[in-house]
């Protein structure tokens, strides 16, 4: 169930990708079909509705990124947008199953920390260190996955 997103690098008109609407329609029997119709996810429209760029600007994220050397020209030189496209980040953002997969991952990570702390004995210092590291990673990773699930879900809302 792959979603094809046209490459911006091969498009002669730089805004041509914004005019295409990609999404999935649920069909009877649980199968899904790639479509360009009414119930599709309009990612760029939703970014505009949520005013994400304005919020990022007001929060100072753009100037902070520039201080760390991440400007639009450096993004272009590093090829980060084409790399994100190759890795499927854009198609994942429009895939209806992404928020639920991220939520499942977050719950699994958040359950892993306490489970491992309970199972690993505390006989040696390295075991306590392992408990601390896994607990921290599971809390940070689970929280990040939960936030990403919420973010992608908000991006996919059509209202």
Q: What is the pLDDT averaged over residues 88-106?
A: 88
Alpha helices by DSSP H, the chain? 43-49, 52-58, 61-67, 72-78, 80-87, 89-94, 98-119, 125-156
Tokens 């990403």 belong to residue: 148
pLDDT at 130: 93
Q: State residue 158's pLDDT score.
A: 60
Cα 83 to Cα 7, 86, 87, 89, 156: the distances in Å are 11, 5, 6, 9, 22
Domain ranges of the chain: 97-159
pLDDT, one tens digit per residue, over 15-73 is 444 444 444 444 445 555 444 444 466 777 777 777 877 887 788 887 888 888 887 78
Q: Is the pLDDT of residue 123 over 50?
A: yes
Q: Stretch 121-133: mean pLDDT, rounded?
A: 93
Q: What is the pLDDT of residue 29?
A: 53
Q: pTM for this one?
A: 0.60
pLDDT of residue 90: 75
pLDDT at 36: 42
In terms of Cα–Cα distance, which of 138, 139, 58, 145 is closest to 98?
A: 145
| Averaged pLDDT, 82-89 | 84
Mean pLDDT value across the chain? 76
pLDDT above 90: residue 81: no
The Cα 129–Cα 140 span in angstroms is 16
90 in Cβ contact with 5 (< 8 Å):
yes
């Amino acid at each position: 169930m792959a979603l094809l997103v046209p490459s911006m690098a091969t498009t002669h008109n730089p805004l041509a990708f914004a005019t295409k609407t990609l999404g999935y329609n649920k069909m009877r029997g649980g199968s899904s079909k790639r479509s360009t119709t009414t119930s599709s996810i309009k990612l760029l429209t939703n970014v505009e509705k949520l005013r994400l760029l304005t919020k990022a600007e007001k929060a100072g994220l753009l100037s902070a990124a520039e201080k760390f050397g991440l400007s639009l020209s450096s993004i272009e030189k590093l090829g980060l947008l084409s790399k994100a496209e190759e890795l499927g980040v854009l198609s994942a953002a429009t895939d209806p199953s992404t928020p639920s997969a991220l939520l499942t991952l977050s719950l699994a990570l958040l359950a892993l920390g306490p489970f491992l702390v309970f199972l690993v004995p505390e006989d040696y210092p390295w075991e306590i260190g392992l408990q601390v590291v896994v607990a921290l990673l599971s809390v940070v990773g689970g929280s990040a996955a939960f936030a990403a699930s919420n973010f992608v879900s908000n991006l996919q809302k059509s209202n």
